Amino acid sequence: MQTDRHAQSGTAASAASPPDPLTGRLLDGRYRVGRRIARGGMASVYEATDTRLDRTVAVKVMHPGLGDDEEFAARFVREAHAAARLSHPHVVAVFDQGNDDGVVFLAMEMVVGHTLRDTISRESPMPPARALALLEPILAALAAAHRAGLVHRDVKPENVLISEDGRIKVADFGLAKAVSADTQHTATGGVLIGTLSYLAPELVVEGRADERADVYAAGVVLFELLTGRKPHEGESPIQVAWKHVHEDVPAPSTLVPGIPAYVDALVARATARDRAQRPADAGVLLHHVRRVALALADGLDEDADLTDDLRPRPVPEADRTRAVPLLSGDTGELTAPFAVLAASELRGAPGSDQTTRVPLLDGRAGPADHDDAHDPDDEPRQGTPAGSSPRPRRTRRGPLVLVLALVLAVAVGGGAYWFGWARYTHVPAVISLSESAATDRLEAAGLGVEPGDPAYSETVPKGEVISTDPGAGERILDGDPVRLTVSLGPERYKLPRLTGKPLAQAEEALAEIKASVGRTTERWSEKVAAGAVIRTVPAAGKILAPGANVEIVVSKGRRPIPVGDWVEKELDAAEAALEKRGLVAEVEEEFSDDVPEGVVISQSPREGTLFRGDTVSFVVSKGPELVAIPGGLRGSGVDEAVAKLEAAGFKVKLEESALYVGLRYVVSISPGSGKLAPKGSTVTLSLV
């Protein structure tokens, strides 16, 4: 079930309604009832919490008072048993059923999303390919039900749920009933259950419901997807019912030009008023839908063979059912499984007039409106007694000619029947059966079996039949072979490891597994060469469906790192910056009289970019070179002292001491002998 609209017929409870007595109640000691999310004709649906398994479920509760009707309550309980028999990914699961102090309920799967009705409102009319894609999972669910002997009997957009992640599920098998030879004719106690706009003609007239009634409803849903309208509309329910019985569903292309003729033929086949011309069950219709979907995928505007194969054979109007249902008021509920209205009750129905005679089910004709309406041929002939007819004149050749004509007609008719019909049989429906079960059914029908090429399928499990050639329901000579196409299951591929491969090779590898290249992103990489794949999203080893997008991260190669100019800057700052960038500093020191100690004198390279781990060479100043001041200068003559100091690389400054008498001998040295001083610095000599 779903949270914002439930697929049962009904509407969400108004916020202004009084508090619901069920809200907050614990049913069967297990299900804590929350808010009501939908209300239908016989039950309401609540969001609830399964306290035992700690999960959210949908609880469907019969309306108060209805449980007093034992037959009605029993039918409600049978819903749980019928639906619980179905285990299919496109069927809403039924978990539990119970009766808590008169409250009869079902616990079902909660589907968060919207209904197909919402999709029709937003998207219709929609392209045929989109419509068939929505219809296919619905038919797969109905086919599973039909194989289990169940008929849904209330197929409509409101009963098709679409979850937030796009999963499609058929809900509310509440009207489903096991199909058997002794139950096909029932109409549930005289009340025909179903939604009027989707009722098959035989349900309206006879109350009969078999698999073909679901096929008809599915065809109406397809028409609505294609056109955005219901095929039969009227001012009252009686007019809608009348049209179901007396009017064919119009071709969708009459409302939406451009729809291919073979799509029109598919709708006509599914909604044929003569149920014998409809597909035998949802599995057969699913086969036809897939054929049409393939034609659309191939871009075919026309396919005469497919159109002719799908189009139902015309049925003479005289052979069509003309009974009209009896409805109560404007509620749309049929009050009898079949009933006939007198001509006076048909006023206002489309196509009715004052001389209409409506055949009753026992062969009698309903009264005409005009008492004076009669056929002149019904009057007695002049000269003939009332109640008698004139005796025709006999001839001798008359009986002989009649006998010969009858013999000839029988011979011609028998030959035509044999060559045109009797020697043929129909291919039984074997779609979704296992290969062995399908083979047994075909051989039991007197047909041969040929294996076809297996094919992948998203909806048919591995080992089951996807399609047959000829298709189900088609005519075939006794003993002729039927080619089986068996499912390989969903088509899936393992994503290979693409890291390190050039982008072109990676794209080729993705094409081989039918995956698509999604977003391509470029990144720097120290390990992967430029133009090669660094990684994929999802990662290698992931199992993918065909058409899945794979994002690729491609290498731009190694990231270039700017070196920067560090000349005349502190070595410590240069080393810290380069280390952060991933570069290595190589240092050489030398004396410099001009550059302070610890400052870069030169670098290589001085500009441009390198890559991580590359080296930048620096020449760093150790400052000026230190030289020892020569000894033995004190007491020596000034010329000798100056010569020694200049030879050692010093500059000399002479000054007279306070005791200067003109002898010009060195009395003191600053700095003193033996001390270190920068080469080129000045040494002061004091003279006496």
Token pair, residue 409, equals 């007609």
Q: Determine which one of 4, 28, 118, 154 is catalytic.
A: 154
Token pair, residue 627, equals 């030289």
Token pair, residue 164, equals 């937030």
Residue indicated by tokens 């614990």: 26
Count the neighbouring beta carbons within 10 Å of the beta carbon of residue 189: 11
**Cβ 38 vs Cβ 10: under 8 Å:** yes
154 counts as catalytic: yes
Of the candidates 317, 341, 365, which has an alpha carbon nearest to the alpha carbon of residue 236? 341
Token pair, residue 657, equals 């001491």
User: What gap in Å lies between CA 84 and CA 384, rounded to an integer?
Assistant: 72
What spatial distance separates the first Cα and last Cα of the chain, rounded to whole Å?
120
Q: Give me the count of residues in the chain.
A: 688
The H-or-E segment that residue 518 falls in is: strand 516-523
CA-based torsion, 152, 155, 161, 166: positive or negative: positive
**Cβ 13 vs Cβ 36: under 8 Å:** yes
| Cβ-based neighbours of 482, under 8 Å, separated by 6 or more | 427, 442, 447, 448, 449, 450, 468, 469, 470, 476
Count the neighbouring beta carbons within 10 Å of the beta carbon of residue 146: 26
Sort residue 659 into left (φ over 0), alpha (ψ -120 to 50) or beta: alpha
Partnered with residue 555 across adjacent β-strands are 523
Of the candidates 629, 630, 626, which has an alpha carbon nearest to the alpha carbon of residue 678? 626
Count the neighbouring beta carbons within 10 Å of the beta carbon of residue 602: 16
Maximum Cα–Cα distance across the chain: 194
Long-range contacts: 539-542, Cβ < 8 Å, 24+?
Answer: 539/495, 540/495, 540/496, 540/497, 540/498, 540/499, 541/494, 541/495, 541/497, 542/494, 542/495
**Cβ 265 vs Cβ 307: under 8 Å:** yes
Of the candidates 210, 151, 147, 180, which has an alpha carbon nearest to the alpha carbon of residue 438? 147
Of the candidates 443, 456, 463, 454, which has an alpha carbon nearest to the alpha carbon of residue 485? 454
Token pair, residue 345, equals 């009750």
User: What gap in Å lies between CA 647 and CA 227, rounded to an integer?
Assistant: 111
Active site (catalytic) residues: 154
